[in-house]
Chains A and B, each alone.
Chain A
Amino acid sequence: MSINLEQFHQTFFEESFEGLDSMESGLLNLQAGTPDADTINTIFRAAHSIKGGSGTFGFSEVAKFTHVLETLLNEMRDGRRPVAPEAVNLLLESVDCLREMLTAVRGKSPVNAARVADVQARLETLLAGAPTAAPVVAGTEPVVTAAYDGWLIRFRPKPHLFQTGNDPLRIFRELAALGELGVEADLSGLPDLESLDPEQSHLGWLLKLKGNVPQAAVEELFDWVRDDSDLSIEPITAQSMPAQRQSGDRRSGDDRRAPAAAGEGTSIRVEIGKVDALINMVGELVITQNILKQLGENFDIGRLHRLQQGLADLERNTRELQESVMRIRMLPISFAFNRVPRLVHDLSAKLGKQVELKMSGEGTELDKTVLERIVDPLVHLVRNSLDHGIESPDKRRAAGKPETGTLSLSAYHKGGNIVIEIGDDGAGLNREKILGKAQERGLVKGSDHLMDEQIYELIFLPGFSTAEVVSDVSGRGVGMDVVRKNIASLGGSVEIASEPGKGSRFTVRLPLTLAIMDGQSVAVGSEFYIVPLVSIIVSTQVKAGQINVMAGQGEVFRFRDEYLPVIRLYEVFGARPRTRELKEGLLVVVEGDGRRAGLFVDELLGQQQVVIKSLETNYRRVEGVSGATILGDGSVALILDIPGLIRIAHQKQVA
């Protein structure tokens, strides 16, 4: 039977990456306190599984590497080796190395051999310098076996043999398959019938196996019972033969196929409870459908009430079903948070800072796609807090603060959003430094009077960096502008609050899912548009005197203390509005990418949850539109891309 092992690869990779994550968090825990047997065991088991799987599925480089890792962990587990910080750090590096290897192998690309060799060599050095001798790997040394005319086997199992599930008959059957077999039973040990325990073995055998059978093949058959029996295997005719050897490498039969085009779809693991809930819901839906069907078969107006009741049930069923289906895509944010402890550990060591990480709300769930795409911005914000926020122990002491800084990471649900907060008790944002840099870069004029909040906002402008020396921690050419852009592309926002000497806090708001959002319908003539509710600040009626036409800035209106550009939606989309008079319509003040504008519409309609349909997939990308949705009456409404619209408005002003 030939089984293509590739079908199990995806599962193997998924569980291996999970295993690496748990190794990593286990190792970080080890560092934090005294070695705990359970933790070491968990780490060991993860390494052990990866080794077993990689060997089985033909990833020999991974298996070889993990073997060394496992040996080291085994010594720690058995208490033969102390859990020293250097060893833990090397193990952490090994986890990274393994992760890279597995990523490479999964992508069917070669592993970074130099890196692997380097880490492996250091593991081996550590092993060699073991306080107790490293266990020698049971060698698969090829034993030169001679073949003989046959074998004389004396075999007397101990009484308890059957209790190990073994059966001499099975062994004889296998022997008979190797050559001509003669069996002679030795009944001398047989008790009389009264004292015979049928669950015990009482017999012995003298077996003659004729044929050119290698000793190893015979020995192997008795492998499992050797310790439970008296056994001798002797050649019948001693006659030396040239040593012949068949490949003893068990792995040679394993198929490491040339890469076939393995479809690498992403899969998702769903908690069984969620699936059960879904099945339940479908059951209810079927019941409701049956009720409605019966009603429809012989309907009269007297049963209108029941029809309405049925429709109400249907609505509830559909809503619950929708929520359950959405929930399937939801994963706890711990998948993203898990990367942070390691990051904090490595970075704080590198920066010479002492940092305590506090996390909360790891179980908060959000959409898988959002989750995957929030990891990078999150990592960047954490790096930023460590690098620029928390001060060195000296500075902290001088400022009368505890030497160990605190970085807090929390997640919670609020409304239809998930909120992630990254806070530190560091120095806070440096107002003067930011302003100075912004002026130097020409981002603001020297004469501009800016509020603190506005100054903090400057760090989100493209190309902004306050680090005097571009550090290799946060200054990697990726600025906060990219962070904001990435978050905005998920339909989210990021805000800063900062207090000098006390610390800063970044608040990231994200939609729970990208497939559904809360929208505000607005009307322009006979057209409907959806404005994402998250981007709306306020809707307002324009009064005379609020509108100005400014040179170089087009039409603006005064909102609180600033002048915002007016975007006439009918102009953007070529619609025929009910009114062109600003005073007769409404201005919806919206914000996107940190910039505000007023959308001029005829009127506001209702708020509703809309299912987002991609225009790009079904048609093509349209500037100012992020998608479309189908309204209750079957008509189509475009969903506005607020940052895009604001960008267009600004471009127009420049032109």
Chain B
Amino acid sequence: MATILAVDDSASMRQMVTFTLKGAGHDVIEASDGMVALTAAKGKKVDLVVTDVNMPNMDGISLIRELRQLPDYKFTPILMLTTESADGKKQEGKSAGATGWIVKPFNPDQLLATIKKVLG
């Protein structure tokens, strides 16, 4: 199964995402903000990044931009977790190099369905 980097500053969301992904048999690396995620990502290959947008230290958009600079992450699918009203953020994320988004609130089934779309 896949290795997924899950980034969210909210512990409960991170728990939920991690639990769901692990339950589906994936390996999960957790990170509590963009900075932590970027450090974790360096020198490692993951199959998918799922990141929140609003975070302290380094937000999701900057994280995507930074990740795309790394050779290992040039083509890696990166999904943003956004809220329904944040259309501007989607565009911003897309131009930073995001693959797509998952709209909050979502439930575990929706998360898995979306991820399946990306991972096959």
Contact = CB atoms under 8 A, between A and B. Distances in A.
18 contacts: A1-B108, A3-B108, A8-B12, A8-B15, A8-B19, A9-B12, A12-B12, A52-B10, A56-B13, A135-B85, A138-B84, A164-B98, A170-B120, A199-B74, A223-B100, A224-B99, A253-B107, A254-B105
B99 A165 contact: yes
Interface in A221-238: 223-224, 227-228
Contact of B107 (A11, A15, A254): A254
Interface in B47-101: 52, 54-56, 68, 74-78, 81, 83-85, 87, 91, 94, 97-101
B118 A53 contact: no
Nearest to B91: A227
A224 B109 CA distance: 19
B38 to A, nearest CB: 16
Interface residues of A, number: 47
Nearest to B10: A49
A63 B84 contact: no
A52 B17 CA distance: 13
B9 A164 contact: no
Interface string A137-168: 11010000000000000000000001111100
A591 to B, nearest CB: 46
Nearest to B103: A250
Contacts of B120: 170, 173
Interface in B1-43: 9-13, 15-16, 19-20, 23-24
Given A45-B56, A55-B105, A56-B105, A165 B12 contact: no
B101 A165 contact: no
Looking at chain B's contact residues, is the secondary structure mostly helix, strand, loop, or mixed?
mixed
Given A11-B11, A170-B118, A56 B97 contact: no
Interface in A1-29: 1-3, 5, 7-9, 11-12, 14-15
A14 B104 CA distance: 20
B99 A57 contact: no
Given A45-B54, A163-B74, A56 B11 contact: no
A394 interface: no
A67 B84 CA distance: 11
Given A224-B101, A253-B107, A254-B107, A48 B77 contact: no
A251 interface: yes
A368 interface: no
In the A-B complex, the 10 residue pairs with the closest CB atoms = A55-B105, A224-B100, A165-B99, A12-B12, A165-B77, A11-B12, A56-B105, A3-B108, A49-B10, A52-B104
A430 interface: no
A173 B23 CA distance: 24
Interface string A227-271: 110000000000000000000001101110000000000000000
A254 B94 CA distance: 27
B54 A48 contact: yes
Given A56-B107, A254-B105, A254-B107, A164 B10 contact: no
A67 B120 CA distance: 34
B85 A228 contact: no
Nearest to A7: B19
Contact of A166 (B54, B99, B103, B104): B99
B80 to A, nearest CB: 10
Given A49-B9, A162-B75, 9 more contacts: A7-B19, A48-B83, A52-B81, A163-B75, A163-B97, A170-B117, A174-B117, A250-B105, A253-B110
